[in-house]
Structure 1
Amino acid sequence: MAMPAGAKRERRARLDEDGEEELVDRISRLPDDVLGNIVSFLPTVAGARTQGPGRRFCTEFSYFDPGDRSATLDGWLRSPALNNLQELKFDLSFIPYQASPPLLPASVHRFSSTLRAASFGGCAFPEGNGASPLHLPLLKQLSLLNVRISETSFNALLAACPALQSLLLGYIMGCSRVQIVSQSLRSIGLLHTYCNLQQLIIKDAPYLERFFEGSAMEVTVSVVSAPKLHVLALHSAYNLRHDVGSTTFQFRRTVFQRSCIPSSKTVVHSMKVIALTQPDLCLDMVINLLKCFPCLEKLYIETHKAGKKNTWCRQKYKNLIGTLEIRLKKIVLTNYRGNRSHFNFAKFFVLNARMLQSMRLELFDQNPRSTEIDRRRGRSTEIDRQRGRLLQIKKASRDILDVVAKNSCSLMLSIAFAEQVHDLSIADPFVKLHNWK
C-alpha cells in the first residue's frame, strides 16, 4: 500500500530532525563530575587526550614499564583536560630500596589550588635548594605510599596542607622520624614500614580523633598532645603494660606517652573505641586495657589461637570487680572457638559489664552457607549450640548475645584500610565495613 503524501512529508521531517540531533554534542552537556568519572574509566592515554574536564585522575604503572615513568606521567598531567583536577592518585611502582626512584612529577604543582584528595605512590620527593615545595591549601586527604621523603620535606608538606583531615603513611623511606603538627588532622593511619621510619611523634593535633596501626611493625608512636583521640586500632597487641604513675603505654613495641592528659597521669578518658588483633585471647590484657581507658564503650577483638587460661574466678578478679567500673556497651569477638578459654572470656563480661548492650561472637571457621543448609535440614548448628551454652549463664540475655558465622572480612583487612582512615562520615569506622550494628 502506498504511503499518503502527508505521511511521507511527516516522516521526512522526523528524519531531518533526527539527523540534526545526531550532530549535537550530548556528552558535553553532562555535569562535570559525571564527565570526570567517564574519563577515569578510559585507558590512561585516551583519557589524557579527551577535551572534557577531568576531576579525578588515577593510574598505576607496572614494575616492568619501560622508560621514565615520572616523565610519562608528567606529560599526561599537563593535559588541559585536567586543569581543575580535584583528586589525583598514582603509583610509579619503583622497587623498594631502588637507588633512584622516579621523582614526583613537577606538573603536580599546577593543581595546588584545586586538589582535595591525593595519593602519591612509588616516587621520591625532590630535595635540595632547587626543590619547590608543594602547597595544597584545599587538600583534605593525603596518602604517601612507598615514597622516599626526608623529615624536612615531610614537615614542609604537612605545613603546606592547612585543611588536611586524614593522613595515611605506608612504606616510608628517607626519614627515621615523622612529627605531626596539624590544626586540622582528624585521622592518621600507619601501614607496613619495612624501611626507615622508626618514630612517629604526634606533637600537636588538637582535633585528632583516630589512630590506625595497620600491621605488626616496630615503630614508636608518641602522643604528646591529642586530647580528642577516641578511636584506636592496633593490628597486633601481644601485651599491654600499664604502670601506675607511668606515662607510657606499650602495645608490643608501640608506645603511647600521655603527658597530654593534665588531669591524670595514669588513664586516658577520651578513648571510646578500640579495635585490635590479639593472637592469644587474654583477659588479663583486656582488663589492663580497661584500666588504661576507663571510658571505653566499644571493643573489637580478632583472635587466632585457642587463648590463654582466662580463669577469671581467681581472688584477684573478685577483688577487682568492686573497684573497676566496666562501661563497655558493645563487644565483638572474631574467631570465637567456644572452648573453655573463650567461653570464660565471654562469661566474664556477661556477668560484670553492667552497661553491656551487645556482644557479637563470630565463630571460628564457620561457613554461613553450610550453617543455613543444616538449619533447613533440621540439624542443630554450632551457632545454636554455642548460643544455647552462653544463654545458660546467669544474666545472659538473647537481646544482648549474638552468635553468628564469621564475617568474610577480618577486623584489620588491609585492602579496606585506606577507607577506614579517610572516611570520616561515621563516628565508628568499623561499623560500615563489617555491618556491625
Structure 2
Amino acid sequence: DASFPHLRELGIFSVSVEDGDIDAVVTRSPALEILNIQGSMKGVRLRLVSNSLRCVQIRSFAMESIDVVNAPRLECLLVSECLDPAGGSCTRIKIGHVPKLKLLGYLEPGKFVLEIQDTVIMAGIKTSASMMVTSVNVLSMKVRFGVYDDVKMVPAFLKCFPNVEALHITSEKCDQLAAKFDLSSGKRLVSS
C-alpha cells in the first residue's frame, strides 16, 4: 500500500519480483518519469499504465511480455539484451496508447513478438493505419541476417513505423547457414 508521490526515477536491478509488483509501484508513483529495469526476471509480465513515464529502459531480462497499455508521455522505450524466456518462447512487446513515443529499440525478430493495438505483426501482413506508430522517428533493430525467419520480419516491422528518420540495425551473430534475401518480398533467393 506504500505510495511514492515524489519519486521521479526508479532503477530495479536483479531483484526478484512477481507479476504485478513493478506495475503496482509505477501506479503508486504519479511523478515517475524514468524506469530502469535490469536483470533476469523469468516469467514476469510487465503492464505499464502511467501518465508521467517518459523513458523506460529494460535490459538483460527474460520477461514473458511487456505491455505498454497507456503511457501518453512516453518518449523512449529501450529493450535490450533479451534473454530467452522459459520454454524458449518469444517475449511479447505490445504497444498501446503512446502518442509521444519517439525512440523504440532494440526490436529483435525471432526473440520478440510485436503487437500494436491488438494486432500481432507477422511477415507479409498488410499494414493498416491502426498498426502504425507514426510518432516513432528513431528505430533500432537487432537482426540475425543468417536466419530466414528473422529477416522476413524486417519489412513487416518497418512498415509499422512509417516516419522513421534514423534507423539503426545491428547484426547479431548466428550459427546458421548464410543466405541471400530480397527484403522487399522477404523471400530467400539463394542458400549457400
Q: Is the pair's TM-score, using the shorter chain for normalization, greater than 0.5?
A: yes
Corresponding residue of 2:135: 270
Contact 1:163–1:184, Cα closer than 8 Å, also in 2: yes
Q: Which structure is higher in strand share?
A: 2
> Which structure 1 residue ranges, 5 or more long, are not aligned?
1-131, 239-251, 318-437
Asked if residue 225 in structure 1 is aligned to residue 97 in structure 2, the reply is yes
Shift of 1:235: 5.8
Find the structure with the greater CA-based Rg: 1
Corresponding residue of 1:183: 51
Q: Which structure is higher in helix share?
A: 1
Name segments (4+ residues, structure 1) moved above 6 Å: none
Corresponding residue of 2:108: 236
Distance 1:280 1:152, change over 3 A: closer
Contact 1:215–1:236, Cα closer than 8 Å, also in 2: no
Deviations 1:127-153 (A, max 9, x none): xxxxx62x3222221111111233444
Distance 1:209 1:308, change over 3 A: farther
Distance 1:178 1:310, change over 3 A: closer
Q: After superposition, where does 1:13-92 map in structure 2 within 5 Å?
A: none
TM-score (norm 1): 0.33
Deviations 1:231-286 (A, max 9, x none): 11116334xxxxxxxxxxxxx433222259xx922322222111122121787554
Relative contact order (C-alpha < 8 Å, sep 6+): which is higher? Answer: 2
Q: Please give the secondary structure, in 2, of the residue aligned with 1:290.
A: helix
Structure 2: which amino acid aligns with 1:309? K
CA RMSD of aligned residues (A): 3.2
Structure 1: which amino acid aligns with 2:104? L
Structure 1: which amino acid aligns with 2:52? S
Shift of 1:214: 0.8
Contact 1:149–1:175, Cα closer than 8 Å, also in 2: no
Structure 1: which amino acid aligns with 2:180? K
Deviations 1:172-200 (A, max 9, x none): 65873222111010111222224xx4222
Distance 1:213 1:145, change over 3 A: same
Corresponding residue of 1:213: 79
Q: Please give the secondary structure, in 1, of the residue aligned with 2:131.
A: coil
Distance 1:146 1:287, change over 3 A: same
Distance in 1 (CA, whole Å) between partners of 2:155 and 2:75 is 23
Deviations 1:25-45 (A, max 9, x none): xxxxxxxxxxxxxxxxxxxxx
Contact 2:79–2:105, Cα closer than 8 Å, also in 1: yes
Distance in 1 (CA, whole Å) between partners of 2:64 and 2:26 is 19
Distance in 2 (CA, whole Å) between partners of 1:223 and 1:184 is 17
Which of the residues 5, 15, 33 maps onto 1:147? 15
Q: Please give the secondary structure, in 1, of the residue aligned with 2:129.
A: coil
Distance in 2 (CA, whole Å) between partners of 1:206 and 1:179 is 14
